[in-house]
Amino acid sequence: MRAMTRIRTLAAAFALAVTAGPALAEQLSLDAISDYLDGLGTARSEFTQINADETISTGTITIKRPGRVRFEYNPPEETLVLASAGQLAVFDAKSNTGPEQYPLSRTPLNLILARDVDLGRSGMVTGTSYDGTATTVTAQDPEHPEYGNIQLTFTADPVELRQWVITDDTGTQTTVVLGALEKVSNVSDRNFSIVAEVEARNR
For residue 30, give the nearest of 100, 121, 103 by alpha carbon: 121
Determine the pLDDT at residue 201: 87
pLDDT band at 98 (very low <50, low <70, confident <90, very high): confident
Q: Rounded to whole angstroms, how far apart are CA atoms 112 and 115?
A: 9
Q: Tell whether 64 is covered by a domain.
A: yes
Asked if the model's pLDDT at residue 20 lies above 90, the reply is no
Residues 21, 26, 27, 30: is their CA dihedral positive or negative?
negative
Q: Which of 84, 44, 55 is nearest to 187 (CA)?
A: 44
> What is the predicted pLDDT for the residue at 99?
94
Residue 25 reports pLDDT greater than 70: no
Residue 24 pLDDT > 70, yes or no?
no
pLDDT band at 8 (very low <50, low <70, confident <90, very high): very low
Q: What's 116's domain CATH number?
A: 2.50.20.10
Half-sphere exposure of 203 (CA within 13 A, CB side): 5
Q: Is the CB of residue 33 less than 8 Å from the CB of residue 137? A: yes
Which of 43, 55, 109 minimizes the C-alpha distance to 81? 109
Q: Are 93 and 78 in contact (CB under 8 A)?
A: yes
User: Does position 194 have pLDDT exceeding 60, yes or no?
Assistant: yes
- Does residue 13 belong to any structural domain of this protein? no
Residue 145 predicted with pLDDT over 90: yes
For residue 110, what pLDDT band results from cuts at 50, 70 and 90? very high
**Entry pTM:** 0.86
On whether residue 62 sits in a domain, the answer given is yes
User: Distance between CA 98 and CA 89 in Å, rounded?
Assistant: 9
Does 15 fall in a domain?
Answer: no
Establish if 11 belongs to a structural domain.
Answer: no
Type of residue numbered 1: M
pLDDT score recorded for residue 21: 47
Number of structural domains the chain divides into: 1
| Residue 17, in any domain of the structure | no
Q: 4 pLDDT exceeds 50?
A: no
Q: With pLDDT > 70 as the criterion, what percentage of the chain qualifies?
A: 88
Q: Give the mean model confidence (pLDDT) for residues 4-32.
A: 59
Q: Is residue 157 part of a domain?
A: yes
Q: What is the pLDDT of residue 3?
A: 46
Position 49 in a domain: yes
Summarize the confidence of residues 152-170 as an average pLDDT: 96
* pLDDT: which is higher, 31 or 95: 31
> Range of 88's domain?
24-201
d(CA 195, CA 134): 39
Q: Does the pLDDT at position 6 exceed 70?
A: no
pLDDT of residue 1: 46
Question: Chain-wide mean pLDDT for the chain?
Answer: 89
